[in-house]
Amino acid sequence: MSERVFNFYAGPATLPLPVLEQAQRELLNFRGTGMSVLEISHRSKDFEEVIFGAEKLVKELFGIGDDFKVLFLQGGASTQFSMVPMNFLLEGSTADYILTGSWSEKALKEAQKVGPTHIAASTKEGNYKRIPEQKEIMLSENPAYVHITSNNTIYGTGWQEFPDTGNIPIVADMSSDMMSRPFDVSKFGVIYAGAQKNLGPAGVTLVIVRKDFLEKAQPPAPTMLRYSTHAEKDSLYNTPPAFSIYILNLVLKWLKDQGGLTGMEKINREKAAYIYNMIDQSDGFYKGHADKDSRSLMNITFTMGNADLEKAFAQEATAQGFIGLKGHRSVGGLRASVYNAMPVEGCAALADFMKEFMRKNG
Ligand SMILES: *Cc1c(COP(=O)(O)O)cnc(C)c1O
């Protein structure tokens, strides 16, 4: 490949080209410091501008104020699976989980190691092809929080509207659709996302915690696994993943240039429509895994009911510069991950490729 391809990998995933170009320009001499951002102290003024700038941009993009704390942590979304119950599964309460895919199952499994849990709803039956309806959700008597996975990376489903949990805070794993659209953040106690899908490179996890919820946290957890440790030190308790935060900062600025979350949603809907329309108009040649009313805007999963044909699709696509379309083994078939940074042209070109592949093989 001599040119950049259209990268449909599920994560780590494509990044905005202007961000990569700026990082390249600045790599050897970061903003006149004579050093690379890879080399400067995380206690320096130059780096503080990067990390506090990123915090400010997160708040601005979400339209949240000082009732929330923005944290940049390590250990990926997977560490949050443990940190959430270790901090918030309080004595005498239960942690409620809504299961919509493999990542929610993993989150539940970690909570079970910490204390009592309850499955408030699950769509495992039918291989997670849909999001539960409000009336299917049965909370426990005294939930400390209700955990959801906003977008199911593997199955290609996503919550269209977040559930009504009354006054119980929602804790959400938004790893694969963070900042893809605006929503009412006030219902959430904690939002977390590994950056490597929709926000930046691997190595940093963006966490947003509501301060009144944080105050309830009980701190038997080890120092590094307490939210309060990181909140009190503005994510500088120990050395943060400085380069990842720097790239995240650039991605956030890029997001702002796209018209913020409202602008981004509009673009994301346009992108996903190219591929979903192709599936819907293929007369069953392509079969979407997700129910129509549960479709993800970020991960589009489909099969062809024929493993050889699916293999040929992936191979031909790769040869034409569409990379990473092989589906996850739990669903099989194909998956196009079209995160924020995937340009509209990538989705339009993939839809054209699908049309041509169907013409030749249908
Ligand atoms: C990828 C993914 C994870 C795992 O993230 P890590 O940062 O690798 O731990 C968790 N949840 C969801 C929804 C994901 O897509």
Q: Are residues 322 and 193 in the same domain?
A: no
**Residue 319, pLDDT score:** 96
- Ligand 1: which atom is nearest the Cα of residue 103? 11
**Hey, whose CA ends up nearest to atom 1 of ligand 1?**
175
**Residue 220, pLDDT score:** 74
Tell which of 240, 257, 274 closes a domain. 257
Is residue 103 annotated as a catalytic residue, yes or no? Answer: yes
How many angstroms separate the Cα of 224 from the Cα of each of 74, 75, 87, 221, 310?
A: 10, 11, 12, 8, 45
- Please give the backbone phi and psi of residue 139, each rounded to the nearest 5 degrees, phi first: -80, 160
Of 69, 103, 187, 254, which one is the catalytic site residue?
103
- Ligand 1: which atom is nearest the Cα of residue 202? 7
Q: Tally the C-alpha atoms within 13 A of residue 310's C-alpha that lie toward its C-beta.
A: 20
- Assign 23 a pLDDT band (cuts: 50, 70, 90): very high
* Per-residue pLDDT at 1 exceeds 80: no
* Per-residue pLDDT at 221 exceeds 90: no
Ligand 1 mutation pick, 105, 106, 176, 178, max ligand atoms within 8 A of CB = 176
**Residue 149, pLDDT score:** 98
Give how far the C-alpha of residue 271 lies from the chain's centroid of Cα atoms, to the nearest Å.
Answer: 17
Give how far the C-alpha of residue 160 lies from the chain's centroid of Cα atoms, to the nearest Å.
Answer: 15
Is residue 173 annotated as a catalytic residue, yes or no? Answer: yes
Which range marks the domain in which residue 236 is found? 18-257
Cα-Cα-Cα-Cα torsion 190, 188, 271, 3, nearest 10 degrees, comes to: -20
Cα-Cα-Cα-Cα torsion 300, 200, 132, 335, nearest 10 degrees, comes to: 20
* Per-residue pLDDT at 2 exceeds 80: no
* Per-residue pLDDT at 187 exceeds 80: yes
Q: Are residues 249 and 263 in the same domain?
A: no
Q: Are residues 272 and 135 in the same domain?
A: no
| For residues 3-26, average pLDDT | 97
**Hey, whose CA ends up nearest to atom 12 of ligand 1?**
175
Which residues are paired to 275 by β-bridges?
Answer: none
Q: In angstroms, what is the span from residue 313 Cα to ligand 1's centroid?
A: 27
Query: Does some domain include residue 12?
Result: no
pLDDT in tens, 123-140: 999 999 999 999 999 999
**Hey, whose CA ends up nearest to atom 10 of ligand 1?**
77
- Ligand 1: which atom is nearest the Cα of residue 196? 7
Q: Are residues 339 and 200 in the same domain?
A: no
pLDDT in tens, 287-327: 999 999 999 999 999 999 999 999 999 999 999 999 999 99
**Residue 99, pLDDT score:** 98
Q: What is the CATH number of the domain that holds 216?
A: 3.40.640.10
- What's the whole-number average pLDDT of the chain? 96
Q: Are residues 287 and 234 in the same domain?
A: no
- Ligand 1: which atom is nearest the Cα of residue 176? 15
> Does any ligand 1 atom lie closer than 6 A to the CB of residue 101?
no
- Assign 100 a pLDDT band (cuts: 50, 70, 90): very high
- Assign 219 a pLDDT band (cuts: 50, 70, 90): low
* Per-residue pLDDT at 80 exceeds 80: yes
Q: How many domains in the chain? A: 2
**Hey, whose CA ends up nearest to atom 7 of ligand 1?**
76
Decide: pTM greater than 0.95. Answer: yes
Of 69, 197, 271, 326, which one is the catalytic site residue?
197
- Assign 358 a pLDDT band (cuts: 50, 70, 90): very high
pLDDT in tens, 318-350: 999 999 999 999 899 999 999 999 999 999 999
> Does any ligand 1 atom lie closer than 6 A to the CB of residue 153?
yes
Tokens 């938004």 belong to which residue? 174
> Does any ligand 1 atom lie closer than 6 A to the CB of residue 198?
no
Q: What is the DSSP letter of 295?
A: B
Residue 38, both tokens: 């890879």
How many angstroms separate the Cα of 296 from the Cα of each of 53, 149, 154, 305?
A: 30, 12, 10, 21
